[in-house]
């Protein structure tokens, strides 16, 4: 029997208590630093509200800021991986925290020596071979737990989200999976933690969707509609193809150096807001909104980056669409742009366009 000294015991206990927050993730366009401005603008713009809709949810950090007891949060995204995160943090479904923690501990203690689908495709590329073997093993075990009914839907999503956040800390990338770095220098072990979750009472009225935003907006009624569309031609399903493959876990053949699922299999996640037709799509969206307040995040990227990074909707086009529905005010904040690791953007700003519908 190996005896641990007091410091070792305390360190072990602290490690067991470590949790991750919803914002503890690198993600293109994440609005974590913009949250104080968004909340301040909303509070100034509307006195009472019952429902908040995050139509292009992404990481879910904006929805999380407005997820409050007695309020309805509606959150939507096209990506399967993000939907799991929403079920983790926002679902009203009960879950057994002790059971989930025990499963996570078992996963962390696993010593995997054999190759699997994930390690064959992503090992020594996006992750070390050792980490990739563990990821594939853990994902297979998660699937077994789901298929045998040993975890409910939310418990499964919690396990998946824990794995997804763990990958972010060990990935040989610059924060997305469009490509991996040539030199493998990320050796952090895969460690799955418990998410920091609110009491279930907070989530009782919440609704989670995986729908085309222009279709969904025709069906919902909300007090506040927050819109954060993709800004440029970079499709999120392409940047996060690895997480989508992990989420669906159909183990398809992969393509190219970047080991992507096929272009055909990625069509479900393609956004019209990354195309030249984005202004028309935005106008259609805004004209069918049923809300008291519309809040739109959009950068001043314009022509500041390369061709793929330039904004698809001009300020004139955006304001014109919003002013058809009501009085529109703009706010701005200097921002550190999350690039693909190649260069910084000068004078980059995030703006909020706030439309008071019917005024």
Q: Can you give the pLDDT of all 359 residues of the chain as single tens digits?
A: 333 443 444 444 434 558 999 999 999 989 999 999 999 999 999 999 999 999 999 999 999 999 999 999 999 999 999 999 999 999 999 999 999 999 999 999 999 999 999 999 999 999 999 999 999 999 999 999 999 999 999 999 999 999 999 999 999 998 899 999 988 888 889 999 999 998 778 999 999 999 999 999 999 999 999 999 998 888 999 999 999 999 999 999 999 999 999 999 999 999 999 999 999 999 999 999 999 999 999 876 554 445 555 678 999 999 999 999 999 999 987 655 444 444 444 555 778 999 999 98
How many Cβ atoms are within 10 Å of 347's Cβ, its own excluded? 9
Contacts with 61 (C-beta within 8 Å, 6 or more apart), sequence order = 22, 23, 30, 31, 32, 35
Does residue 292 sit in helix, strand or coil?
strand
CA gap 30, 23 in Å, rounded: 8
- Position of tokens 């991996």? 180
Does residue 152 sit in helix, strand or coil?
coil
* The CATH homologous superfamily of the domain defined by 28-92+206-235+271-359: Vaccinia Virus protein VP39 (3.40.50.150)
CB 241 within 8 A of CB 261: yes
At 335, list the tokens.
């921002």
Does residue 95 sit in helix, strand or coil?
coil
Report domain extents, the chain.
28-92+206-235+271-359, 93-187+236-269
| Cα distances (angstroms) measured from residue 127 to each of 27, 135, 177 | 18, 10, 11
How many Cβ atoms are within 10 Å of 13's Cβ, its own excluded? 9
Question: Residue 346 has what pLDDT?
Answer: 53
- Position of tokens 């998410």? 195
CA gap 58, 35 in Å, rounded: 14
Question: Residue 13 has what pLDDT?
Answer: 42
Task: Specify burial of residue 184 (Cβ count, 10 A radius: 0-12, 13-18, 19+).
Answer: middle
Question: Residue 185 has what pLDDT?
Answer: 82
pLDDT in tens, 269-285: 999 999 999 999 999 99
What is the pTM (predicted TM-score) of this model? 0.89
CB 138 within 8 A of CB 110: yes
- Continuous segment of H or E residues that includes residue 319: helix 315-323
């Amino acid at each position: 029997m190996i005896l641990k000294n007091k410091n070792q015991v305390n360190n072990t206990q602290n490690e067991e208590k470590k949790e991750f927050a919803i914002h503890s993730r690198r993600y293109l366009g994440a609005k974590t630093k913009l949250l104080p401005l968004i909340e301040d603008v909303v509070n100034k713009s509307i006195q009472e509200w019952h429902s908040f809709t995050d139509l292009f949810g992404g990481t879910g950090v904006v929805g999380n800021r407005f997820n409050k007891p007695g309020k309805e949060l509606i959150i939507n995204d096209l990506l399967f991986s993000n939907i799991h995160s929403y079920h983790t943090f926002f679902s009203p479904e009960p879950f057994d925290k002790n059971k989930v923690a025990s499963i996570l501990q078992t996963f962390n203690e696993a010593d995997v020596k054999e190759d699997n689908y994930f390690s064959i495709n992503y090992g020594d590329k996006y992750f070390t071979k050792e980490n990739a073997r563990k990821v594939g093993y853990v994902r297979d075990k998660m699937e077994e737990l789901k298929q045998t009914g040993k975890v409910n839907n939310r418990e499964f999503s919690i396990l998946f989200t824990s794995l997804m956040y763990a990958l972010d800390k060990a990935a040989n990338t610059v924060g997305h999976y469009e490509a991996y770095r040539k030199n493998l220098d990320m050796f952090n072990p895969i460690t799955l933690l418990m998410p920091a979750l609110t009491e279930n009472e907070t989530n009782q009225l919440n609704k989670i969707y995986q729908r085309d935003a222009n279709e969904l907006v025709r069906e919902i009624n909300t007090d506040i509609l927050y819109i954060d569309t993709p800004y440029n031609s970079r499709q999120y399903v392409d940047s996060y193809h690895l997480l989508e493959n992990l989420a669906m876990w159909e183990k398809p053949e992969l393509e190219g150096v970047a080991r992507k699922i096929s272009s055909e299999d990625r069509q479900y996640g393609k956004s019209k807001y990354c195309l030249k037709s984005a202004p028309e799509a935005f106008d259609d969206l805004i004209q069918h909104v049923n809300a008291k307040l519309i809040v739109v995040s959009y950068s001043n990227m314009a022509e500041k980056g390369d061709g793929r990074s330039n904004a698809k909707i001009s300020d004139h086009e955006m304001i014109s669409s919003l002013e058809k529905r009501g009085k529109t005010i703009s706010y701005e904040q200097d921002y550190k742009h999350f690039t693909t690791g190649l260069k910084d953007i000068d004078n980059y700003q995030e703006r909020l366009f706030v439309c008071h519908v019917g005024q």
